[in-house]
Structure 1
Amino acid sequence: MTSTETLYSHYLEHPQVSTDTRNITKDCIFFALKGDNFNANEFAEQALDNGAAFAVVDEEQYAKNERCLLVDDVLTALQNLARHHRKQLNIPVIGLTGSNGKTTSKELINAVLAERYKTFATSGNLNNHIGVPLSILSIGSDVQIAVIEMGANHQKEIELLCTIAQPTHGIITNVGMAHLDGFGGFEGVKKGKAELYAYLKENHGYTFINRNNPYLLEMSNTAGLNKLIYYGTEHGNTIKGNLKSSDPFIEVEWTNHEVATTVKTNLTGSYNFENILAAICIGDFFDMEPDQINAGLAGYQPKNNRSQLTKTERNTVICDFYNANPSSMEAALNNLSALSSPQKVAILGDMFELGPESAKQHELIAQQATQSGLNEVILIGKHFYGFKDVLDATFFETPGEAANYLQQNVMNNNLILLKGSRGMKLENLLQYL
């Protein structure tokens, strides 16, 4: 069997890793992972033919030559290799998790820190048991600070990811009604996210905390954290800020006890105020000047269909359809209500992974939407559809049915919120708006 040390010696010579034969780069190391419906051991030879230097496999029949490295379990080997690499990196690693705002916060923190440091941040949403190892293995020797996003849909997952990323600093953006099925309810969400706090406590790490969030304060007290850096809207925090405007873009005034300054961003959605404050707090902690912090925030352009304001030929659309849960839905609807526009429409898709809470949470969001004084509410998906006879909204069982409706009922001069879980694929509706 190939040891982690031997794998690492190969990695140092070939520091690119792939788990997908469709994305083989020359001289990379291919890890043949298994899933419920695939066994990448079968593609090891193809990966080598496509230019990989080595293929890591865990079935002896596929270890056909010296370039096939046999291990007990490919996923475990990948994670152990990442752990080994992380131990060689003598840099701050900021571990980040939360129910909402993870990716936006990660991007904002990276945008700020990059004004002074050579940074690395998780690409896209590579934030799970496979993505985090791949992220760690992408950190080069020239990186000064890394920001690693960690996602989870069940307990003990953040604990595992912490053993791989080994954060020296950490932040939980918030805790909300997300992945309730896997976590076993809201208390389970809090317990799962708090695994980051437990790791930081045990390893003497620093924790950035939004003092306005009672759940985070409770969780930090329970964990017994003592290296705390606070941000929020009140005096006594390391960073104090207030939301000056969010219509449509966010403007924030903030102070670090010495200098008061204002920054205008390209972000929409008042719920992003706390994500901006977090990035300010972390930049300040790492000795950045206010003008550097503001430059990073002002230069950040939202993407990935998260709080992204898009002007089409006929309407203005808040593209927020990367994902959804009850907490983020409520915040998005509140933001839509606060924005200035004569014509407002909410197009909402089903929220997934809510377990026994699903019907109740969909009803609450549907009620909020229909009571928000909007010109039209369109609800899409089988979960929302169950309330078609009791609520005043336009209902469709599938996005395809909604697309037909939007083609026949053209909207003009509307401010439209388009939001739903990733699996609803609401991006397909944008062309009709």
Structure 2
Amino acid sequence: MKITELYQIFLEHPEVSTDTRKINPNCLFFALKGPNFNGNEFANQALEKGAAYAVIDEAKFKVSDKYILVDSVLETLQKLATYHRNQCSAKIISLTGSNGKTTTKELIFSVLSKKYNSIATQGNLNNHIGVPLTLLSIKSDTEMAVVEMGANHQKEIAFLSSIAQPDFGYITNFGKAHLEGFGGVEGVIKGKSELYDFLIAHDKYVFMNADDPIQLEKLGTYVKKIGYSASNPQYYSIQLKESSPFVILEVEKTRISTQLTGAYNFTNCCAAIVMGKYFNVPLEDIKSALEGYSPENNRSQIIEKGRIKIILDAYNANPTSMEMAIRNFDNMKTPDSYLILGDMFELGDVSAEEHQSIADLTKTLGFTNVLLVGNHFYGVQTPFLKFQTFEEIKNYLESHPVEKGNMLIKGSRGMALERILDYLG
């Protein structure tokens, strides 16, 4: 079936599902495959639950006209998403970066929603499946779509850009994330910059942090760039006033007090502000959006349990974000401060070095109550307590309860350190 024909079916059934556990009446089910599953085998189940059609790529499963046979379900989903994107009038803003993507996306969405009918990537559905699903959620009255793009290897951002074909783009930063897949920091810069490459090649607009020397170098003399800066008068001026514990900033003599912790969230706010200003969102609405945004999903959440104030930043971690979080927490340090740090994944050959560096940093800054969790941290040389498994630290906290103080909990998603909350307070 041609994409144009499938698109007519999509217009009649504009809700897409790839999960038989989430089937709404009259949706289109795309039978994707994975390493451990074959969606074709669940197509009949999707139809029984109310899907209008099931898109499959194995002929033996086609037993009625309710099954749409294609060469590749994944490629069809991606092509349909791009076709739909090109029929819509919504402006597409894509963003990527090593740290802060999801928070920045949510802030941009909050600001733009004050003036425009907007959508944004749900959760972290930012890969070769999530990006098409986001695009297919654009409605006829959608004016702005904020599309997050994640990557852990070269050419991935280029491919996602070809699917989304953004009108605008933004890179949060270049850090030590997914070093194994990208092949080091230079590989990260090259890979993330593929968004810039697409935008420049198609003469589109770029939002930028003009205080980031890498972004300045990458964009060079490119004309269609809109930047913010705390120091360069050539760009939109935004000043950081406080960051411990919460970010307070000033723009056009207007003070904005956020619920976000740490100076590293300053640039995330700046991106939302400069986009709001570019798209003529009134400053009072920008202020309202930023002050009303409350972090969740284990991202820099402030949680109080008894007499313990916890910064829960357990959604993800890499050496760059880990160092920034620890240095920010250092500003809140008291004799009762605790650091609970979990392994950082996908670091390849530099994993041992980077974990040792973080352990050394905590000692240099003068922290005394440091608990390190996971196989990687277990191998470092340090005077601090090390636990190879979550079960070990759980047992320790049960027998050595923390009664008061400030605490930072941070680690990669696979460590699921939010479970520690059950053993505190």
TM-score with structure 1 length normalisation? 0.96
Superposed counterparts of 1:138-217, under 5 Å: 138-217=137-216
Superposed counterparts of 1:24-423, under 5 Å: 24-221=23-220, 225-255=222-252, 260-339=253-332, 341-387=334-380, 390-423=381-414
Mind listing any 5+ residue stretches in structure 2 that lack a counterpart? Answer: none
Q: Deviations over 1:322-369 (max 9, x none)?
A: 000000000000100012544211100000001111111111111112
Q: Which residue is equivalent to 1:429?
A: 420
CA distance in structure 1 between the aligned counterparts of 2:217 and 2:188, rounded to whole angstroms: 14
Matched residue of 2:307: which SS? coil
Mind listing any 5+ residue stretches in structure 1 that lack a counterpart? Answer: none
1:78 deviates by 0.2
Contact 1:367 1:391 in 2 (8 A): yes
Matched residue of 2:257: which SS? strand
Q: Name the aligned partner's letter for residue 56 of structure 2.
A: V
Matched residue of 2:169: which SS? strand
Contact 1:28 1:51 in 2 (8 A): yes
CA distance in structure 2 between the aligned counterparts of 1:175 and 1:237, rounded to whole angstroms: 23
CA distance in structure 1 between the aligned counterparts of 2:3 and 2:207, rounded to whole angstroms: 33
1:249 deviates by 1.4
Q: Deviations over 1:209-230 (max 9, x none)?
A: 1111111112222xx6320111
Q: Name the aligned partner's letter for residue 74 of structure 1.
A: V
Contact 1:247 1:340 in 2 (8 A): no
Q: Sequence identity of aligned pairs in percent?
A: 51
CA distance in structure 2 between the aligned counterparts of 1:379 and 1:237, rounded to whole angstroms: 44
Q: How many residues align?
A: 424
Contact 1:238 1:281 in 2 (8 A): no
1:144 deviates by 0.9
1:371 deviates by 2.0
| RMSD across aligned positions (CA) | 1.1
CA distance in structure 2 between the aligned counterparts of 1:237 and 1:158, rounded to whole angstroms: 29
CA distance in structure 1 between the aligned counterparts of 2:322 and 2:97, rounded to whole angstroms: 15
Q: Name the aligned partner's letter for residue 309 of structure 2.
A: T
TM-score with structure 2 length normalisation? 0.98
Q: Deviations over 1:53-107 (max 9, x none)?
A: 1000000001111010000000000000000000011221110000000000000
Matched residue of 2:34: which SS? coil
CA distance in structure 2 between the aligned counterparts of 1:56 and 1:162, rounded to whole angstroms: 24
1:143 deviates by 1.0
CA distance in structure 2 between the aligned counterparts of 1:64 and 1:32, rounded to whole angstroms: 15
Contact 2:96 2:150 in 1 (8 A): yes
Runs (4+) off by over 6 Å: none
Contact 2:394 2:423 in 1 (8 A): yes
Q: Deviations over 1:95-122 (max 9, x none)?
A: 0000000000000111111111111111
Tell me: CA distance 1:109–1:359, structure 2 relative to 1, closer, same or farther (3 Å): same
CA distance in structure 2 between the aligned counterparts of 1:8 and 1:209, rounded to whole angstroms: 35
CA distance in structure 1 between the aligned counterparts of 2:53 and 2:311, rounded to whole angstroms: 45
